[in-house]
Amino acid sequence: MMQLFNSRLCALCKGRKLLCGRPTCPILERFRVVKSVERIVNRREIFGSSPPSIFVGEFGYPRVRIGPLVPPIEGNTSYLDNPLKWENKTINDILKYRSLLVMGETKADVKVSKSQRILSEIQELAMSIRPVDSEILLKRKPILKVLPNEFAPPVGPKAELLDFELTENPRIPRKTDYVVSDELKAEEAIIKLYTWEFDEYYIIRLLSAGLLGISRKLVPTRWSITAVQDTIGKHLRKEILKYDTINEFELYFYEFLGNRYAVLLMPESYAFELLEVWLKGSLFGSEEPQVIHDYEDWRGIRGYAEETTGAYYAARLSVLEFLRNRKRQARILVFREVTPKYYAPVGVWQIRLGVKKALKNPVGKFDTLQEALNEVKKLLEHPLEKYLEKSWLLKMRKKQMTLDEFLKNF
């Protein structure tokens, strides 16, 4: 795999010649973003309206770093931490948003029963559905950098937290109070909140803050995102298995933040596969890009999506929602092609949105798989045969067709 930054190449280029093949220098871009907010975040005391937003790290588990994220601005700051509303934003916009959110971090045991006052305040913040005026006192001025993340939205400036206080009452829905105070398993609580149409990232925040489940624990943000998307996905999969299949091969396509998404739906019983490739010149691309994949049949995936990780659950959820709304099931093949334009990872929300947007952009309907694949070939840069060589779903389909043909002779 190619290094994220090649020190020799970067030294020769200095961001001027773009020798790495990316459309912009990721090092200089992050520097510019941080410089643009330095004046207003470079202080020990930060007062502002938290979107609301919290972050729980996984390093050092079971003693993890947790903290509120507070910008030095007041008013409606919800746009700073609302990934599913970023569909018309650029990577640069997102880095700027995240650079405004200062994290005051403190260590905490994941067992909520051992919590301190600050954790109690963080939990109240997490339950709010509106921005909350908050104040953080830091041990020193925050380290001014933005750390991109392939799972969660990027984390901005941060420093050790000395004190945190909510300076107004958070707005907490009654249904949230009910779920948090009731003896529900985490999975049940997640599905109830989703059924009540609470924002997905709100549910993730509640789980991270240790507010859901019977044995309450803090859950690292990265794990929470996957857990919530996987739980909802399993719930929807059970539902769509009761529906009839679609009637034709359907193809959808969209390019979002330097990621190409082609979604192929087949008129067959449910199965799902994500095929992913990072093209040459992309962040994790190599001289000879390799296709990675994960898959499942109607029983679900075995274990964890080891190759495509969080992208798998995000993409699957978007397609399952689409099929549930149509009351149909299908065999699903999602192609994700990451280009050099995706110069900074911004989280799996962009996969969630990218696939969702693709499903609103139909390419066409086809009578045969071959016709559909011929169209897929025109949409992607990486050779289609490389994808097909890797695809478990298409290999299984071919075996099944051979078996069906064999049985016809009896």
Instruction: Mention every residue, 6+ apart, whose C-beta is less than 8 A from residue 84.
Output: 199, 200, 201, 349, 352, 353
Q: Are 72 and 46 in contact (CB under 8 A)?
A: yes
Provide the pLDDT for residue 2. 36
Instruction: Give 10's pLDDT tier (boundaries 50, 70, 90).
Output: low
Tell me what pLDDT residue 410 has: 44
Residue 401: band (very low, low, confident or very high) from pLDDT cuts 50, 70, 90: low
- The mean pLDDT of the chain is 91
Residue spans of beta strands (DSSP E) within 110-227: 132-138, 158-166
Q: Can you point out the beta strands (E) in 9-85?
A: 45-50, 54-56, 63-70
- Burial state string for 194-226 with b = 16 or more CB within 10 A and e = fewer than 16: beeebebbbbbbbbbbbbbbeebbbbbbbbbbb
pLDDT at position 400 is: 76
pLDDT at 190 over 50: yes
CB 262 within 8 A of CB 252: yes
Tell me, what's the pLDDT at 13?
A: 65
pLDDT tens digit sequence for 21-59: 666 776 666 556 666 778 889 999 999 999 999 999 999
Greater confidence, 194 or 408? 194
pLDDT of 104 > 90? The answer is yes
Domain range list for the chain: 24-166, 174-240, 249-408
For the segment 288-296, the average pLDDT, to the nearest whole number, is 97
Report pLDDT digits (tens) over 144-164.
Answer: 877 777 778 888 899 999 999
Model confidence pLDDT, tens digit, residues 192-241:
999 999 999 999 999 999 999 999 999 999 999 999 999 999 999 999 99
Beta strand 291-296 pairing with 362-366: unpaired
Alpha carbons 291 and 307: distance in angstroms, whole number: 10
pLDDT in tens, 339-398: 999 988 899 999 999 999 999 999 999 999 999 999 999 999 999 999 999 999 999 888
What is the rounded average pLDDT of the residues 105-127?
90
CA-to-CA dists, residue 93 to 55, 263, 384, angstroms: 20, 27, 33
Rounded Cα distance between 207 and 216, Å, is 9
Is the pLDDT confidence value at 137 over 90? yes
